[in-house]
Chains A and B, each alone.
Chain A
Amino acid sequence: MEPQVGMDQEIEKSTVPATGVSEKPGETAALNPKMKAKKVSVYYGEKQALFDVDLNIYEKSVTALIGPSGCGKSTFIRALNRMNDVIEGCRVTGKILLDDMDVYDPKVDPVQLRAHVGMVFQKPNPFPKSIFDNIAYGPKIHGMGSNKTDLEEIVETSLKRAGLFDEVKDRLKEPGTGLSGGQQQRLCIARAIAVSPDVILMDEPCSALDPIATARIEELIDELKQNYTIVIVTHSMQQAARVSQKTAFFHLGYLVEEGDTDMIFTSPNDERTESYITGRIG
């Protein structure tokens, strides 16, 4: 799908605080919601971790989730692709819609869902296999590449999109765990891309990386949003401001405030948001 370029082009973009990431003109965030959370509550056993969260995630844009530690950002992002299913005693109420399909509908297969809503984790976690196998694994189990050349093509395009191809093209047979931390995280992003998801969830993807690797990932996110809907959890206000178009602020399990990123960072409505972005709580 081509990125939608058009009248709803964001003019506010220029008001985003200055970053090292170059803003390409013509890049837009279309304002049709890709995923919708409606009155989502999540319980871990008896304990409620999220309270009636309503949040829209817009297509081909980056949504940042921010908030102090333990406020439920990971819980929310994991609810989006049902990664919480494997946690004993975790329960989700409310509705999460992906293109108007309720992902918690019993008829929805979580395995297929995760092919559409991919995930990148805090710590780079490549499989202890070769770089090639890391990326080919997802397409293989979903039956996407029937023969070797198909798979090779998928691997190559995924690596290219993740901006890793040139660095690893000569050592695709070597273990993915032998790469540097930043390269590993880009490998994980390539792995998520390989199954051609619509949405990519990233839970603090840069928290284990140094500033240069972080800048590299941020650049990558910026490019990826042309083709993918991205949700990113981050503790870095600057990062949220740099890469996202929408920001949602969580506090103690509640969604306190959401909206356009520059709006949240320049003139928040809620004083808790303001305290947080100015560093008074967190």
Chain B
Amino acid sequence: MSDTAIKPTQGHRIEWGSEQQLKNVKRRYAADRRLQLFGLGAISLAVLLLGILVFSLVQTGYKSFVQTKVLVEIPLDHPSIKRDEPGKGSYRVIVRNAFRSNFPEVSGRRDLRNVDRILSSQARFIVRDYVVANPELVGQTIKIALPLSDPFDQLHKKVIPSQIAALSQREKQLFKSLQDRNVVSIENDVTVVQIDAFIDPEKVAAQDLDAGDYEGVVKEGLRSYFLNYQPSSYEPILADNAADAVKNFVQQNPGVVGQTVQVKVPVSEHYDVLNKGSEPFVTNPRFDSAKQIEQYKALNEKNLISTPFNWELFFNSDSRFPEQAGLAGAIVGSFYTLLVCFLISFPVGISAAVYLEEFAPKNRYTDLIEVNINNLAAVPSVVFGLLGLAVFLGFFGMPRSAPLVGGMVLSLMTLPTIIIATRAALKAVPPSVREAALGVGASRHQVVIHHVLPLAMPGILTGTIIGLAQALGETAPLLLIGMNAFITAAPGGILEPATALPTQIFSWADSPERGFVSRTSAAILVLLGFLVIMNAIAIFMRQRFERSW
């Protein structure tokens, strides 16, 4: 080998500023920029999607963090309330009468009942619990804010309108087709439609013009415009007195029996409004009457209605009535479930990972176990749910809906996550630390317990918390073991029936009441809040561990 062999030859030298080089440099810069743009684009997309998610949740959910309440003055002097047994009074009557006193002018069973329905049907229990907690108030008059029923809560938060459009798009179109035929006009301030009415002698007898089936005649006449439609879709266009118009016409012209005549008949109220150029409205059917809404407005004008922070969302358990439904049961249930899950999966996961990583002989069986653990992490959670259903509930006969079983099922899911994270964290501990410990005479288990595990702990904790966070959001396995039951009290232990946050969200999302829509979003926000808190704890603990070295 001579020296010249390693010197670059003239043809292969990199020339500053040569065309080829300039092109290369340009291409490289372009590639760099492209890569950066792709990365930026991907991140912006991710942030955007996250933003949209959170925004839409907050948009629908924030309304559930306040609750519409009305201040009611309740005299607690009813003879049924006894100071020594304050829980037993007829609170239904007391609360009802107290609230009705806002509207002394209302009478009649129906109207009074409608007044009652402005207030949440659960109000009496709130008053009862309040009096039980403060028995010295018996005999006095208290002022207490009681929740409105769901429709009024939603009305006050402007989620639902008090009035809705009376005619559907389809109904308006049918009417428009009449207008297009130029058969609709206004006479004496009443909208009328002109129909070709065949005064059928079988329906209207010439001898007895008063008793004829004029309604049939009118409907038959209108039908000619809507041959392809169901009568139920176009007949509502006719006013109730449309038949009378034909009757009057025939009575004035008795000779027309048996002939087809052009008659103008009035249209019903909503179409009349529509034809005069405005939108017909009716009271929202979620309310009992328009009067009820007036009564609500009267309360609002008297400044009796307020929207305080909805503590009940956190301190109440589930309820059929959205204005009273809260997450306490689900939060406590999730807490117990995660506690069980943590107590099982953390020690078992760490032990398994330490054994596999530090002590297990490297052979085929270890490899097999490793592959299976990795596969376990990819098993759909619903399968674990089925397993729990079959084994824990079916075979061992454990209680349904219990956080114990939920935690056991979820720990099957978190175990592989924890094992994998722990092994990665153990692997990341530098070999020099092991050598150092071995060098001063630490045994293998001392090396692991005194040096490797503490160093790996931040990674292990992060893995554990990620596993638990996954478990917190897991729904399917909990549904299978019945943790979506309707339970109105927080569980007192791990063996009592309970729900969890995700299953609560699932059942609320399934409920028809309008109030549950925003409560579902609120529950999701609470769940996300807990996830953020868990991650914050993970970060905090990592820093604590790092500082103590």
Contact = CB atoms under 8 A, between A and B. Distances in A.
Interface string A109-129: 001111100111101011111
Contacts of A115: 440-441
Contacts of B443: 111, 141
A195 interface: yes
A141 to B, nearest CB: 6
A112 B446 CA distance: 13
A127 to B, nearest CB: 6
Given A121-B432, A125-B432, A128-B433, A86 B440 contact: no
B455 interface: yes
B451 interface: yes
Contacts of A120: 439
A129 B437 CA distance: 12
Contact of A114 (B432, B438, B549): B438
Nearest to A112: B441
Interface residues of A, number: 30
Contacts of B446: 141
Contact of B435 (A112, A125, A129, A177): A125
Interface string A88-114: 100000000000000000000001111
Contacts of B549: 128-129, 175, 177
Interface string A182-193: 000000100110
Contacts of A126: 436
A18 interface: no
Nearest to A194: B440
A83 B446 CA distance: 15
B438 A83 contact: yes
Given A127-B451, A129-B549, A137-B450, A188 B436 contact: yes
Contact of A83 (B430, B435, B444, B455): B435
A56 to B, nearest CB: 23
B207 to A, nearest CB: 114
Residue among B436, B439, B442, B444 facing the most chain A CB atoms (10 A cut-off): B439
A268 interface: no
B439 A118 contact: yes
Contact of A195 (B430, B433, B441, B444): B441
A125 B436 contact: yes
B362 interface: yes
A127 B436 contact: yes
B441 A142 contact: yes
A111 B433 contact: no
A68 interface: no
A138 interface: yes
Given A88-B362, A125-B432, A129-B549, A83 B450 contact: no
B500 to A, nearest CB: 39
Contacts of A137: 437, 440, 442, 450
Contacts of B433: 125, 127-128
Interface string B181-217: 0000000000000000000000000000000000000
Interface of A: 81, 83, 86, 88, 111-115, 118-121, 123, 125-129, 137-138, 141-142, 175, 177, 188, 191-192, 194-195
Given A127-B437, A188-B436, 6 more contacts: A86-B434, A114-B441, A118-B441, A121-B439, A127-B436, A137-B442
29 contacts: A83-B438, A86-B438, A111-B443, A114-B440, A115-B440, A118-B439, A118-B440, A118-B441, A119-B439, A121-B435, A121-B436, A125-B432, A125-B435, A127-B436, A127-B451, A128-B433, A128-B549, A129-B549, A137-B437, A141-B441, A141-B443, A141-B446, A175-B549, A177-B549, A188-B436, A191-B436, A192-B439, A195-B440, A195-B441
Interface of B: 362, 430, 432-444, 446, 450-451, 455, 549
